[in-house]
Structure 1
Amino acid sequence: MYKKIISALLLISFFNYLIGCYTVEKMSKEEVYNNTEKITEVVFPSGESVKFNKAGAKLVYVDGMISGRNEKGGKYQIPLEGIKELRIKTYPVKPDEVKPEEIKEVIAINSRSYVFDRNGAVFNEVNNSIKGKSREGKDLEIKLEGIDYVYVTEPDTISISGLIANYSVRVKQIVFFNNTVRNFDDSGGKYAEPKYVIKGMNTLNEQLQIDPEEILYINVEKMNYGNTCLATLGGIVLVGGIIVLIALATKESCPFIYSFDGEKYVFDAEPLGGATTKGLQREDYSCLENLKEVNGKYKLRITNEVAETQYINRMQLFTVDHPAGTEIIFNNDGEGFFVDNPASLIYATDENGNSLNKFLEKEDDVCWQNNMKDYLNLENFNTRQTLTFAFPKPESTDSAKLILDAGTTLWGSNMIKEMLMLYGNEVDNWYEKIDQKKIEYNHMMSFLQNEELYELKLYLKEKDGWNEKGIIQGGGPFITEKRIVELDVSNVEGDTLFLRVNPPVGFWSFDYMAVEYSNSNQPNISLCKMTSAIDYKSTDISEIINSENENYYLMPETGNYFDLEFEAPEISKGMARSVFAKTSGYYKIHLPKTDPPDYQFLYSLSMNPGKIVKYSVEKYKEWLNKNLTTK
């Protein structure tokens, strides 16, 4: 398999060299140990996140550290290198409580230590300071207003080797070779064995070290060029054999759309996820946030980046000019709506009462999703979670528009392939029945709707209880689109709108939710004229891709792509602009088709609610054991 991957990389690396492509992608906790890319952000299970500066962070191995919390509750993870002294008990006093000659050490408010020789210090009334000589014979003078506290009794200390030999000892204070100090809270700092940490400077230029086992996922940034031997024109494939395998093994989706921002192509959309045969073909609207007009033109690059054949029926580009400060969002049926001043969450919780607000209150790519590792060793677990959301509601309104950014997880995308492989060497016959909308189509749709793997039922709390009121459509997994779900809230009592979903474990990701109550008109949408459609063979494909017919442009191999160019209409004066791609088509995943179908297991999946989720966890465990190394 590695030979095939490397061959594919080499074949198309030259094109990467010509035009670099930029992506920001999520990686799970388990994948962090094989990551070689720049880490831009760490997200924790609580929804808290840490963003790093432009240099980013890296996974590094540290020989050992002192870990704990400071007096304000912040985390400390301090490497042993650079430590001058470990103090296990200290005796601080205020300088006005003792005689200057008794002072052995001063700790300044800037956390710097000044140690006097055995003669101690003297008080300088003129300068309102304490002065003396250091143990090295240097003159010391510290203003009283700059002193935090002093020591007249030397702190109790322990050597580094002594701390390593006795795990139960707790450190109160650390002195570094540059004579700065760090204090731990009452629990103290403890020795932590050598391990890997995520190390980098945050946006405040503070040095951080984060334990990968404490995170939910990371965001990594890639700028891909040919000489790094990356696949598919700057796509999602990562550096290194194992990481290439991760992306190729778990990503099952349709085309990647890259927008030209004037300098580079930026990964901007991922339509048609789940449309795995012609009978499931659909149209998707994708907001192209990075697309910029250059010399009166819009440029797109559409790529095939995984082992599948993609069938693109048509692609169009639309613009919507709208007042600044407003937004255009589509529903599942392709209808666009103005969004002006949506109401924010009051709260969001899971079935255990854990707050999800930090995940959902902002559009920041900090997404709620399951930590699959939590389920790996559980024989029995609830295959569904219950997420409840509350929003303020004006008493006079009868309608609302839920705005949400949600989609399929990376592993949920991979499960499409796992389920198709159960049909073995009969999968093509099954495709044909789905395309012809025979009874198998109805069985499949019923199974997917009942299990809510890729379409999630939305419930609204009304006078008579919780009632199903809409569908949340999956997408992604790398880029999801904000969507609107229209709601009739005329039967809702009170001034609070309650919504609920029951996502199956491991399949769903949520980034943002809000509610719009205004009744604005639908926006005017302008079609952009396509001026060029050229594929990777320099073939003009405009007649196929720019017309409504039964013709399809096929991309059968990883590395296939085509470029589109559109006229950019003049923007209306004083208005903002949003640009959307409309993509129609489907894809077929490349499957081995060697084993016989497992109809008995397929039947058991359909007859036992939640069994598909437990099967998914089993396959995830197999995948981890097979593809990821443990450091």
Structure 2
Amino acid sequence: MIMKNHFILIFRYFSLFVLIAIINLAISCTGNYRSDDDEMNRHEESLCPYIYTYNGEEYVFAGEIISGASKPGLERYDYLLLSELKPNHDQYFIKLTNEVKQVHYINKLQLKVIDHPENVGVLIDKHGQLQTISKPVLPKSAVTFTGRSILPEISKKDNYTYNFDEIVLTQETTDDIILSWQKPQYSNQAKLIIRAKNSLWLEHVFSSFHELFGARYNYFSRLQDSKSKEYYHNWMIEQSIPLLVYLEKDGKWELYDIFEIAGTMAMKDNVLLINTRTIKSETINIKLETGFKFWELDYAAMDFTRNLPLKITTVTIAEAIDENKVDVKLKLLNDDQSYYTQTKIGNEANLTFPAQELTDESRTVILESKGYYHIIREQQGRAKMIEIMSFREPGRMPLFSRELYEE
């Protein structure tokens, strides 16, 4: 009996260690919840490496990188569009900062520079593939599960968003929308384009969850550094934390792919290549699904044109000076085991890149980054084990979101 009880105890703690590691991934760039009026205080509470770009007059916030890569096994490449970056004396200036209690491990940073015709947009998808946007087409319909049209919310990049909260008067815990496009006659592939971010409400959900672990949070977190990305990936889908992309085939919905966590502080432009060859109907139906109030969608469109044969110029760092006037460039040049680390609030690196002469009508600059980070939380109290263990069940996190909302 003693051995049996001992085994049960070990199993429970092992499951708990797994759970806290998964939650570290899920929180991505979340901290403590603030209302929309307090979003300007993001520097105090957001939890991802911040990027600022120099626009010729001042540094402006560009976004977050490596969102969700909160463990060594989750280290990944990330691509951030730098729409406000402007050359100054033939150079680009970028800042990488740590503004919260977190440790950043940055493996590599470089720019992808693409010159192109003025009427063409350029994005790099999560697989590192260049996608050109020549003729974006709005959906012919965009409806919630109640049948309400949300075309006004998603037809322009204007921060007038759909917040995946239509289910508020029901008992459902996940929310979805269905987007429909007329399929061109000879279409074999399409590019699904969105502009979206995670919600500030999601910060509140995960902050509330973390409180359940009490003073043992950091201990549980460190024990999970060796878990694989695949393990976390599957759990996140079960909890509807990413933006899930379903494709309708022969009258049935099939999970096609996901949009990775985008962070909460800035809208992010993203693209996903869709294989339409197997769709027999004349309409392409896409379902976007996520947990209650987890995402905010500002824009959605689809481009059926072929990618233009544009050249990508990779630009490496010329100089990377930290807050102590030390050049850390060598730690950021290659994908290797040499990391530039930011261990405390106030750490920053001022990056300089050469700006080449423009070779076409317009230019797009995208920051390619690779790395991961550790979240540090200072909490007190005892862990609430019974409640924590319930989060092993699929769908528990969206349900938790509803429970908090209804308090």
TM-score (norm 1): 0.55
Correspondence for 2:7: none
| Paired positions, count | 375
Alignment of 1:608-627 (within 5 A): 609-619=394-404
Evaluate the alpha carbon distance shift between residue 383 and residue 276 of structure 1 in structure 2; reply closer, same or farther with a 3 A threshold. same
Contact 1:346 1:391 in 2 (8 A): yes
Correspondence for 1:394: 184
Show CA shifts across 1:310-355 (max 9, x none).
2222211121111110011121111111111122121211111221
Look at both structures and tell me which one has the larger radius of gyration over its CA atoms.
1
Bigger relative contact order, structure 1 or 2 (CA pairs below 8 A, ≥6 apart): 2
Correspondence for 1:562: 349
Counterpart amino acid of residue 253 in structure 2: W
Q: How far has the Cα of 1:255 moved from its partner?
A: 1.3
Contact 1:401 1:485 in 2 (8 A): yes
Distance 2:60 2:226 in 1: 38
1:516 aligns with 2:320: no
Show CA shifts across 1:162-220 (max 9, x none).
xxxxxxxxxxxxxxxxxxxxxxxxxxxxxxxxxxxxxxxxxxxxxxxxxxxxxxxxxx8
Correspondence for 1:147: none
Q: When you count strand as a share of all residues, which structure comes out higher?
A: 1
Alignment of 1:205-224 (within 5 A): none
Show CA shifts across 1:43-78 (max 9, x none).
xxxxxxxxxxxxxxxxxxxxxxxxxxxxxxxxxxxx
Q: How far has the Cα of 1:621 moved from its partner?
A: 7.4
Q: How far has the Cα of 1:470 moved from its partner?
A: 1.8
Distance 2:36 2:334 in 1: 42
Question: Per the alignment, in what secondary structure is the counterpart of residue 550 of structure 1?
Answer: coil
Distance 1:275 1:422 in 2: 22
Q: How far has the Cα of 1:445 moved from its partner?
A: 3.5
Q: How far has the Cα of 1:548 moved from its partner?
A: 2.8
Distance 1:517 1:333 in 2: 19
Structure 2 unmatched runs, 5+: 1-32
Distance 2:217 2:108 in 1: 26
1:450 aligns with 2:238: yes
Of the structure 1 ranges 473-482 and 343-352, higher mean CA displacement relative to structure 2 is found in 473-482
Distance 1:621 1:557 in 2: 37
Q: How far has the Cα of 1:491 moved from its partner?
A: 2.8
Counterpart amino acid of residue 172 in structure 2: N
Question: Per the alignment, in what secondary structure is the counterpart of residue 276 of structure 1?
Answer: coil
Counterpart amino acid of residue 452 in structure 1: S
Distance 2:122 2:350 in 1: 26
Q: How far has the Cα of 1:594 moved from its partner?
A: 4.2
Question: Per the alignment, in what secondary structure is the counterpart of residue 503 of structure 1?
Answer: strand
Show CA shifts across 1:111-155 (max 9, x none).
xxxxxxxxxxxxxxxxxxxxxxxxxxxxxxxxxxxxxxxxxxxxx
Correspondence for 1:274: 68
Question: Per the alignment, in what secondary structure is the counterpart of residue 357 of structure 2?
Answer: coil
Equivalent of residue 375 in structure 2, options 580, 585, 589:
589
Distance 2:192 2:165 in 1: 26
1:530 aligns with 2:317: yes
Q: How far has the Cα of 1:495 moved from its partner?
A: 2.9
Correspondence for 1:468: 255
Equivalent of residue 492 in structure 1, options 279, 296, 307:
279
Equivalent of residue 123 in structure 2, options 329, 335, 339:
329
Question: Per the alignment, in what secondary structure is the counterpart of residue 56 of structure 2?
Answer: coil
Alignment of 1:159-558 (within 5 A): 236-237=40-41, 248-249=44-45, 251=46, 253-370=47-164, 381-428=171-218, 430-437=220-227, 444-453=232-241, 455-521=242-308, 523-558=310-345
Evaluate the alpha carbon distance shift between residue 424 and residue 335 of structure 1 in structure 2; reply closer, same or farther with a 3 A threshold. farther
1:605 aligns with 2:399: no
Distance 1:257 1:307 in 2: 17
Contact 2:174 2:240 in 1 (8 A): no
Distance 1:595 1:489 in 2: 53
